[in-house]
Amino acid sequence: MLLGRHGYLFGPRARGADWHLDRSAYILLTRIQMVGPMSIGQLSEATGLDASTLNRQTAAMMRAGLVERIPDPDGGIARKFRITEEGTKFLDEDRARYLGVLEGLMEDWSEDEVADFAAALHRLNRAIERLDGRPWPRP
């Protein structure tokens, strides 16, 4: 709970003009970038969010030019969302900034401490995904 409580480190209070994406766009764009075009149903299954929430979020991302709707490349009925070049650019830039914040927070940690933390966090994420039934794809 404490880790979540400190979300302000990455939230609006910590964000300057150089940040592009809100939390929901960052999460959805990351998922689309990793697995390819996704329908509302697939996004719902992957995130546990309902279709109405995802419709609002994807509509905002379309207005911002972050995603585009395309016919299903596999010939299905549902249209899918594909990340745009600008969406990819903003996602990559914000990801680099998040990593920079984390590096700054751990600048006085030893390499072993960082590795131990990363391993423990990886294990925690996998356990949560196992309980939730929604594994996150990783490269």
Query: What are the tens digits of pLDDT across the range 39-74?
Result: 999 999 999 999 999 999 999 999 999 999 999 888
Q: State whether CATH 3.10.20.30 applies to domain 2-105.
A: no
Residues 21 and 87: their CA atoms lie apart, in Å, by 9
pLDDT computed for residue 40 by the predictor: 96
Q: What pLDDT score does 102 carry?
A: 86
| pLDDT value, residue 137 | 78
pLDDT at 101: 83
CA distance 66 to 29: 8
Residue 70: per-residue pLDDT: 95
- Give the length of the chain: 139
Helix axes 40-47, 51-63, angle to 10 degrees: 120
Domains of the chain, by residue range, sit at 2-105, 108-139
Residues of the chain with pLDDT under 70: 1-17, 139
* Residue 75: predicted pLDDT: 85
CA dihedral 43, 93, 34, 65 (to 10 degrees): 50
Q: What percentage of residues in the chain have a pLDDT greater than 90?
A: 58
pLDDT of residue 74: 83
